[in-house]
Amino acid sequence: MEITEVRIKLMEEPGERLKAFCSITFDDAFVIRDLKIIEGAHGPFVAMPSRKLTAHCPNCGSKNHLRAAYCNQCGVRLKEAPALRDDNGRARLYADIAHPIHSACREAIQARVLEAYEQEKARAKMPGYVPSYDDFDEDRAVAEIREERPPAVAPARVQPAEKFRGPHRPPTRQSQQIQSDNSEFGAGIFD
């Protein structure tokens, strides 16, 4: 497999360890988003996308983060779950969603991403800079899909407000007056 594209989004918070987010594309066919470029003790490194690990509440069974003091669902005080430990003895609070299986692959990804990161930092200093990374915008994606697909049937004609029937009637002046006169929540609902 070949990395065919790397997109970088630089972070602008000075003094923070998180330097950028990136996405990588393999063979113009498979994308992994939300890799992080973090400034470590020995220079920048690439962290794979991850999620917080969870434990179940003994009372209601809902999921809570490992260090949660109380259940998000029922409010019961939680005992601290014994966290898994990594090779250095540190508690593992996150699990990678996508990651390389062997070190050669990790090194190849890291080298390609860090090269693109340096190039993006240089581009960011130029006037008119636009980042190459797109945040996924679900509303925009849905709108683009709808624009590409022609409507199956002609749109229905909208009736004037006087002809609406059923529960979808527009509010009357009387109900609007009741709402403005009563400051209590729910006043005028059963009129």
Q: Judge whether 29 lies within some domain.
A: yes
- My answer on whether 33 and 114 are in the same domain is yes
Residues 103 and 111: beta-carbon distance below 8 Å: no
Q: How far apart, in whole angstroms, are the C-alpha atoms of residue 106 and residue 109?
A: 5
- My answer on whether 26 and 108 are in the same domain is yes
- What mean pLDDT, rounded, does the chain reach? 77
Q: Judge whether 154 lies within some domain.
A: no
Q: What is the 3-state secondary structure (H, E, C) of 124-152?
A: HCCCCCCCCCCCCCHHHHHHHHHHHCCCC
Q: Judge whether 110 lies within some domain.
A: yes
Q: Judge whether 179 lies within some domain.
A: no
- Token pair of 70 as six digits: 């109380």
Query: What is the edge-to-edge ordering of all strands in the sheet holding 3-10?
Result: 3-10, 18-26, 30-40, 43-47
In this predicted model, what pLDDT tens digit does every residue of 65-112 receive, in sequence order? 877 888 888 988 888 766 667 777 777 778 888 888 999 999 999 999
- My answer on whether 40 and 63 are in the same domain is no
Q: How far apart, in whole angstroms, are the C-alpha atoms of residue 25 and residue 116?
A: 13
Please measure the distance between the N-terminal and C-terminal CA atoms of the chain and give it in whole angstroms: 67
- My answer on whether 16 and 90 are in the same domain is no
Q: How far apart, in whole angstroms, are the C-alpha atoms of residue 62 and residue 35?
A: 29
Structural domain for 68, as ranges: 50-95
Residues 85 and 66: beta-carbon distance below 8 Å: no
- My answer on whether 31 and 121 are in the same domain is yes
- Token pair of 159 as six digits: 């009736």
Judged by DSSP in three states, 116 sits in helix
- My answer on whether 91 and 5 are in the same domain is no
Q: Judge whether 19 lies within some domain.
A: yes
- My answer on whether 16 and 38 are in the same domain is yes
**Of 28, 61, 66, 34, the residue nearest 49 (C-alpha):** 34
Q: Judge whether 5 lies within some domain.
A: yes
In this predicted model, what pLDDT tens digit does every residue of 131-146 receive, in sequence order? 777 665 555 555 555 5
Q: For the domain that residue 111 is a member of, what is the CATH number? A: 3.30.1120.40
Number of domains within the chain: 2
What percent of the chain shows pLDDT beyond 70? 68
Q: How far apart, in whole angstroms, are the C-alpha atoms of residue 115 and residue 1?
A: 18
pLDDT score, position 164: 45
Threshold 0.85, pTM exceeds: no
In this predicted model, what pLDDT tens digit does every residue of 27-62 receive, in sequence order? 989 999 999 999 999 999 999 998 888 888 888 988
